[in-house]
Amino acid sequence: MARMSGADLAVQISTNGTTFTSLGCFRRFNLNATKDMYDATCASDANKTYKPGKPDFSVTGEFVFDDSAIGVFTAAEGTSAVTLRFIPNDTVTNANWTGTFWVDYTLDAPYDNIVTGQMTARADGAVTRSTTT
């Protein structure tokens, strides 16, 4: 795998789980994979000890507002979780993360700049990391 920029990143949505289309004009996204950690330290332990719990996965992303690209809004305003795929660079690698997510958004409309939005997506189940699209 090569080093790469995020210049050709892609955030995609699927309605059937196999065919993906662009979710909008994204500038960046941040993937956050965590797991619950439980303190299992005993008084006699030399250092703290932890045991892992359930994994969690969330994504934040910045997009440029375009009223003809309403995928983020439709996903957030719907009553079901949606299937999303995140690709760091669509021209250099097939590496991607795919899963079912609940989506929220905020919009920032400054008088002196472009209107942008922030998407937050929280996994509803497992997220799969793959090297094929």
Condensed to tens digits (0 to 9), the pLDDT of residues 64-95 reads 999 898 999 999 999 999 999 999 988 877 88
What total of structural domains would you count in the chain? Answer: 1
Q: CATH number, domain at 22?
A: 2.40.30
Domain annotation covers residue 28 = yes
- The residue segments making up the domain with residue 40 are 10-130
The DSSP call for residue 43 is: T
Domain annotation covers residue 37 = yes
Q: Are 3 and 16 in contact (CB under 8 A)?
A: no
Judged by DSSP in three states, 98 sits in strand
Q: What is the pTM of this model?
A: 0.88
Compute the distance between CA of residue 119 and CA of residue 101 in angstroms, rounded to an integer: 11
What integer is the mean pLDDT of 57-62?
A: 97
Domain annotation covers residue 5 = no
Domain annotation covers residue 79 = yes
Pair of tokens at residue 96:
């991607």
Residue 50's pLDDT band (boundaries 50, 70, 90)? very high
Compute the distance between CA of residue 31 and CA of residue 42 in angstroms, rounded to an integer: 34
- Identify the H or E element spanning 72: helix 71-77
